[in-house]
Amino acid sequence: MPHHRDIAQAFLKEAQADLRSAKLLLAGKEYSQTIVHCQHAAEKTLKAALALRNIIITRQHTVSPDFAATFPDFGEANQIALAASALEKEGTRTEYPFFGRSDLPIWIPSEQYNEADASEALEKAEYVYRTIIAFVREKYGL
């Protein structure tokens, strides 16, 4: 198995790619997909930090509670977890249509989100990424 530091760097590289994608999607007015990539960026950023504490999470997408519990020594851990949690709550709603109830119209993500939603998601994802990058550089020299 690769070293935890290498795993963290890989997650951060992919989180950065998700942020770049989110910006392009926002510019292209693909708001639900912007939010998808923002959630992915935040998730991968938290997973990178967790990897540095020897916690490797691969099968779950909600990691903000794990992050908050693992980093009590990080002053902004709760604020970061809250921002990531807000993105996690959107989860698959931003990616897939839902049609399980005949009394409700089909939920079509690309019709439900707007520029303000996408901009807010990008702001949260960038905050998570920027703050954790500063922390892991200082604490782990990454």
Q: What is the pLDDT of residues 94-118, one digit of tens each?
A: 999 999 899 999 999 999 999 999 9
pTM of the complete model: 0.93
Q: What is the pLDDT of residue 142?
A: 81
Buried b (16+ CB within 10 A) or exposed e, 43-52: bbbbbbbbbb
In whole angstroms, how far apart are CA 62 and each of 7, 59, 68, 134, 135? 18, 9, 12, 22, 21
Phi, psi of 107 (to 5 degrees): -80, 120
Q: What is the pLDDT of residue 1?
A: 61
* pLDDT tens sequence across 28-85: 999 999 999 999 999 999 999 999 999 888 788 999 999 999 999 898 999 999 999 9
Res 127: pLDDT: 98
Distance CA 68, CA 78 (A): 6
User: What pLDDT sits at residue 51?
Assistant: 96
